[in-house]
Each structure stands twice: as C-alpha cells, then as structure tokens.
Amino acid sequence: AEEMLLKSEKLSVVGQLAAGVAHEIRNPLTSLKGFLQLLQQRTNENEFFFELMLSELDRINNIVSEFLVLSKPQITKMEPRNLVQVVRVVIAFLTSQALLNNVQIVTHVLTEDEVIVDCDENQLKQVFINLLKNAVESMTMGGTINVSLSHPVPGRVNVRFEDQGQGIPPERLQKLGEPFYTTKEKGTGLGLMVSFRIIQEHGGTVKVQSEVGIGTIFDVNLPVRVN
C-alpha cells in the first residue's frame, strides 16, 4: 500500500486570509436563508428551485464554518484529557449515522482505560469526526471501520482509523489536505486540511496508507503527557 506522511505547511496562509472573510459572510448568509424560507412559505410554485437554493446556501455555510475553525488564532486550551474517552465519545456520537450507511464502527481494540494527552478536546474531537465521516462516506457498500490505539514508541500514542472503502489512488494521496480538494458532489474539501492543522498544532502527525478497492488507513500519532 502507498504510504504518505501528510504535511500541513500550506495551510496557514489560507487560514489567515479566509478568517476575516468567513466572519463577514456568515451574517448575510443567515439573512438570505431566512428570507428565502419566507418566500418559499408564501408560494407553492418553484419548489425545486427553492430546495436547490437552500441546499446551496447550506453548502456555503459548511465551507464558512470549516474556515472559521482555521481562523481560531491558536490553541489556548491545552488540557490533559483521556484520549480513550475522547475517541469513545466521538464514536458513540457517529454510530447511528454510520449504521444508516450500513457501516459498523468496531472498537474492541480500545483495551486501555486511560491515555492522557495534552489537547484541546473539542478540536481533537473534530479531527476524529472528520476522519470517521470520510471513512463512512468512502464505504458506499457498507462494511466495518476499525478504530484502534497503540503505542508505537514510548511517549507516543497512535490512533488508527481503518476503513473498507473505495481507497485513494496513489497519485491522489498528495492532494489530501489541499484546500478544496474533494471528490464528492457535496464535499467542501476542507475537512482534512483543518484536521492536519489541528494535529500539527498538537505536536502530532497524520499518515495515510491506501489501496484502491481495499480501503484506507489514517494514523494519527500524538505525544502522550509526561508527568
């Protein structure tokens, strides 16, 4: 399988630029959506166009939301958290959505009770949500996602997300994390970019291995708290 260490150097410039714009876009967007819904209620014609416009507005809103994560100046809330617990909460949160897609998330490998990591819990959750959502979305025929924790070297913990999805062709691996790189009709192409940046700010790395038709493995490697 192709393996690649994903870097996030290209992120910061875009993030800073986008931050201000994102904030400014939010309010007019909300008001546009409100008036559109009002118009929609007042007529029973052109239902299709209304739905289309509303869903396009939602798309803009998603993009803006992901940019706003980038715009957060830097992580200030680094606190000791139990990574096992964080992973479990995220999985519980996504289990029903996964099942709707015939995807099972298996965590039998989370045998440890406690692995303490200094982190911004919400940001870390967002990374795991992004990776799990991508995994689910890649498994159009359903299947299993395995989530496991390991300690490749002392002082580090590795969280592995292994899916049975469509995989990523080798020539596309380096595109992961580029702003707006998406192969999905309704994708933003920002989830991985945000995720790589968050992990980088935690002193971690993200590695990906993938094989078309077999599946994809994302490894998130983080420093464990030293006492």
Nearest residue to 159 via CA among 129, 139, 194 = 129
94-100: long-range pairs with CB below 8 Å, 24+:
94/129, 94/132, 94/133, 94/136, 97/136, 98/132, 98/136, 98/145
| Residue 206 in the binding site for ligand ADP (CB under 6 A) | no
CB of residue 184 to Mg ion, shortest distance in Å: 8
Half-sphere exposure of 32 (CA within 13 A, CB side): 14
| Residue 135 in the binding site for ligand ADP (CB under 6 A) | yes
Give the span between the Cα atoms of 67 and 65, in whole angstroms: 5
Q: Which does 209 bind (CB under 5 to 8 A by kind): ligand ADP, Mg ion, none?
A: none
CB of residue 65 to Mg ion, shortest distance in Å: 13
Pick between residue 189 and residue 204 the one whose CB is nearest to ligand ADP: 189
Pick between residue 31 and residue 122 the one whose CB is nearest to ligand ADP: 122
| Residue 168 in the binding site for ligand ADP (CB under 6 A) | yes
Is the dihedral angle over the CA atoms 46, 187, 130, 79 positive or is it negative? negative
The string over 8-21, giving b where at least 16 C-beta atoms fall within 10 Å of a residue's C-beta and e elsewhere, is: beebeebbeebbee
| Residue 189 in the binding site for Mg ion (CB under 5 A) | no
CB atoms within 10 A of CB 89: 13
Give the span between the Cα atoms of 60 and 41, in whole angstroms: 22
CB of residue 130 to Mg ion, shortest distance in Å: 5
Is the dihedral angle over the CA atoms 49, 51, 56, 60 positive or is it negative? positive
Give the span between the Cα atoms of 170 and 168, in whole angstroms: 6
Q: Which of 165, 191, 204, 215 binds Mg ion (CB under 5 A)?
A: 191
| Residue 176 in the binding site for ligand ADP (CB under 6 A) | yes
Pick between residue 81 and residue 165 the one whose CB is nearest to ligand ADP: 165
The H or E element spanning position 145 is strand 143-150
Site size for ligand ADP (CB under 6 A): 21
| Residue 209 in the binding site for Mg ion (CB under 5 A) | no
Per CB under 6 A, the segment of 71-79, 104-112, 148-156, 182-190 that binds ligand ADP is 182-190
> Do the Cβ atoms of 37 and 51 come closer than 8 Å?
no
| Residue 130 in the binding site for ligand ADP (CB under 6 A) | yes
| Residue 134 in the binding site for Mg ion (CB under 5 A) | yes
| Residue 165 in the binding site for Mg ion (CB under 5 A) | no
Footprint on this chain of ligand ADP (rule: CB under 6 A): 130, 134-135, 138, 163, 165-166, 168, 176, 181-184, 187-193, 216
Binding site for Mg ion (CB under 5 A): 134, 191
